[in-house]
């Protein structure tokens, strides 16, 4: 069978319900999605790459069409290694567009076979981001509407031990 595959790259620090919405929508089009977690040594993240991968794996444990891997360096190199030429990205609002357009065209310039497929998030997540969730959690707000229960738990525990955030 000719499997339709794609990668969904991002920081996922941590994964939110907005990301999950995008993954579920894209699963209707693609047989297999590799959630690709970036390791960017020059950008501080709250969770290590391994922690971010473990969190996502626990969220998608029931879906064998979703895999999770870390990557470092250029996204197109990772995609080529996976033999996939479809990149998934989510769009929340017009404000996302400039950056996403630039990234999509850059990736296609680097590798002409590369296509970026955009999914519009559910409007109820249109303002949501990992940074916002972390900020709310720092100030003790209820984040259960924005991330799965297990992610809220891990995030609150992490903040207790970290004593701060890197948004
Ligand atoms: O969740 P994010 O932080 O918006 O994800 C950004 C990401 C990881 C998709 C982007 O920074 C990326 O692809 N980085 C890898 C480096 C790369 O390939 N750069 C050239 C394309 S702009």
Instruction: Give the Å distance between the CA of 107 and the centre of ligand 1.
Output: 10
Segment 87-109, tens digit of pLDDT: 999 999 999 999 999 999 999 99
Structural domains in the chain, CATH included, are 5-124 (3.40.50.620)
**Prediction pTM value:** 0.95
Q: What is the structure's pLDDT at 164?
A: 57
CA distances from 65 to 23, 32, 62, 76, 83 (A): 10, 5, 9, 21, 16
- Is residue 15 in contact with ligand 1, taking CB distance under 6 Å? no
pLDDT at 165 over 90: no
Q: What is the structure's pLDDT at 161?
A: 86
Structural contact between residues 166 and 46, judged by C-beta atoms closer than 8 angstroms: yes
């Amino acid at each position: 069978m000719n499997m339709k595959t794609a990668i969904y790259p991002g920081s996922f620090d941590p994964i939110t319900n907005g990301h999950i919405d995008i993954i579920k929508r894209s699963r209707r089009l693609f047989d297999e999605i590799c959630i690709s977690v970036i390791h960017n040594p020059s950008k501080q993240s709250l969770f290590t790459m391994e922690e971010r991968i473990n969190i996502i794996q626990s969220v998608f444990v029931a879906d064998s069409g979703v895999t999770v891997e870390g990557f470092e360096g250029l996204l197109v190199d990772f995609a080529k290694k996976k033999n996939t030429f479809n990149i998934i990205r989510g769009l929340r609002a017009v404000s996302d567009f400039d950056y996403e357009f630039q990234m999509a065209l850059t990736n296609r310039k680097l590798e002409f076979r590369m296509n970026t497929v955009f999914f519009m998030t559910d409007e109820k997540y249109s303002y949501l981001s990992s940074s916002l969730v972390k900020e709310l959690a720092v100030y003790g707000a209820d984040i259960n509407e924005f991330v799965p229960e297990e992610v809220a738990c891990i995030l609150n525990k992490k903040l207790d031990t970290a004593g701060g955030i890197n948004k």
